[in-house]
Amino acid sequence: MGNKPTIAISHLGCEKNRIDSEHMLGLLAKAGYPVDNDEELADYVIVNTCSFIQAAREESVRTLVELAEANKKIIISGCMAQHFQDELLTELPEAVAIVGTGDYQKIVEIVERVETGERVKEVSTDPTFIADENLPRYRTTSEGVAYLRVAEGCDYRCAFCIIPQLRGDQRSRSIESIVAEARQLASQGVQELILISQITTNYGLDLYGEPKLAELLRALAEVDIPWIRVHYAYPTGLTPKVIEAIRESPNVLPYLDLPLQHSHPDILRAMNRPWQGRVNDGIIERIKQAIPNAVLRTTFIVGFPGETEEHFSHLLEFVKRHEFDHVGVFTFSAEEGTAAFDLPDPVPQAIMDERRERLMLTQQPISERKNQAYIGQTVDVLIEQENPETGELIGRSARFSPEVDGLVYVTGEAILGAIVQVRITAADTYDLYGEIV
């Protein structure tokens, strides 16, 4: 083992990318490679890149350039490697390998080839791979949390999105495979499982001929994990069957992440969203009626080409009317290779930024009011961090998903990775404050 090079991974991008990083770490560790958190000490640095929007690519490029200037041998993986493989090889002589989104499972063989002096390009043009419970995995999240990928790729072709070109069409894992991995994670002490894919409500469509999210949730309800959270749920896929499974499965949280992107039918049609304008036909109201305690999170894109002030006003009113618990807002990013790249009537960046600000300001009092409603209540909180200087604990209630929502700042004593009862004593726009009872 002593003669094997040391490898570090620099992880960029989404939680789907994170799982790829975790599998690469697991495979390398199993093969006897020393894995180090410190990029300076490592012989090779794998940069798992993101290419979803311009800002993500800029962060990836910055990371690559810094490592190149430090004379590091770089292995580039992830969406940007899939997207710009030839450009990266040309521009970065320090890149010893390029690894596509459907090829990260070959990482050990790729490192072995690099060690012989070969410059490796391992990029499947049409990714078809999806990892199962048998592929080694080294988790990089806090001990209480794990992401669980139920499917990879996407069959939709939204005008702004490059993901299907980078990750291929949807391919679902079997219910048995997902449950087996969930049981493994439960045995490691995981308290919260977050189900992810590009469109989780379409889970199983390719494999079983119809969506099987309801059946999957019922199967996972048998696993000894207190919190199961669903990300990327398209509202049209929240059928009565799925809603019933959420309501009847005690460990499935009534938390729904609905990536709506806009409210105006004209913009949704231009975006080629799968349900066009149907978000206005009572679908949000029906979800709230069926799950009265539902926590609803959504994301919107402002400044899509052709978005007028009238379209944007529709979105503002939509946000006021529905009072979502959490809202993320992005400005449109024109991505080469997508249908929206050449659309007429682009919105100037200054107007996009101003609309983003207005939408966030509209949402803030709603979020604050929702948070303040919890003052005086006792809620379950998953403890994830401790401030070593103050002893203050930081965690999340079931209302908050990691990285994207708020935090709960807690006084008292608890072990990391435990779910404890906390009485909420104060709240602001994004976070809650309380004490262990």
At the topology level, CATH places domain 7-122 in Rossmann fold (3.40.50)
Contacts of 187 (CB under 8 A, 6+ apart): none
Q: Is 376 annotated as a binding residue?
A: no
Measured CA to CA in angstroms, residue 142 lies from 37, 147, 188, 192, 385 at distances of: 15, 11, 12, 10, 8
d(CA 41, CA 82): 27
17-21 contacts, C-beta under 8 A, 24 or more apart: 17/48, 17/50, 17/78, 17/79, 18/140, 18/141, 18/147, 19/131, 19/137, 19/147, 19/149, 19/196, 20/48, 20/77, 20/78, 20/101, 20/104, 21/46, 21/48, 21/140
d(CA 68, CA 88): 12
Residue 160 is given by DSSP the state T
Q: Is 14 annotated as a binding residue?
A: yes
Q: Is 154 annotated as a binding residue?
A: yes
**Domain 377-436, what architecture?**
Beta Barrel (2.40)
Number of neighbouring beta carbons within 10 Å of residue 222: 11
Sign of the torsion angle spanned by Cα atoms 7, 11, 15, 20:
negative
d(CA 398, CA 226): 10
Q: What is the pLDDT along the chain (437 residues), one digit of tens a residue?
A: 458 999 999 888 788 889 999 999 999 999 999 998 888 889 999 999 887 677 777 888 888 888 888 888 999 999 889 988 889 888 888 899 999 999 999 999 999 999 999 999 999 988 999 999 999 999 988 889 999 999 999 999 999 998 888 899 999 999 999 999 999 999 999 999 999 999 999 999 999 999 999 999 999 999 999 999 999 998 889 999 999 999 999 999 999 999 999 999 999 999 998 776 678 888 899 999 999 999 999 999 999 999 999 999 999 999 999 999 999 999 999 888 899 999 999 999 999 999 999 999 999 999 999 999 999 999 999 999 998 888 899 999 999 999 999 999 999 999 999 999 999 999 999 999 999 99
- pLDDT, residue 276, reads 65
Q: Hey, which residues does 216 pair with through a beta bridge? A: none
Measured CA to CA in angstroms, residue 370 lies from 180, 190, 209, 295, 429 at distances of: 37, 28, 40, 10, 9
Q: What are phi and psi of 9, to 5 degrees?
A: -120, 130
Q: Is 24 annotated as a binding residue?
A: no
Written as six digits, the tokens of 16 are 């789907």
Tally of CA atoms within 13 A in the half-sphere of 65 that contains its CB:
7
Residue 194 is given by DSSP the state E
Q: What are phi and psi of 297, to 5 degrees?
A: -115, 145
**Domain 145-372, what architecture?**
Alpha-Beta Horseshoe (3.80)
Q: Is 164 annotated as a binding residue?
A: no
Q: Is 148 annotated as a binding residue?
A: no
Domain edges within the chain = 7-122, 145-372, 377-436
Equal fold, 7-122 vs 377-436: no
Q: What are phi and psi of 16, to 5 degrees?
A: -65, -40
Which amino acid makes up residue 231?
A: H
- pLDDT, residue 195, reads 97
Q: Are 416 and 386 in contact (CB under 8 A)?
A: yes
Which amino acid makes up residue 252?
A: V
Contacts of 169 (CB under 8 A, 6+ apart): 153, 154, 155, 206
d(CA 391, CA 406): 20
- pLDDT, residue 2, reads 56
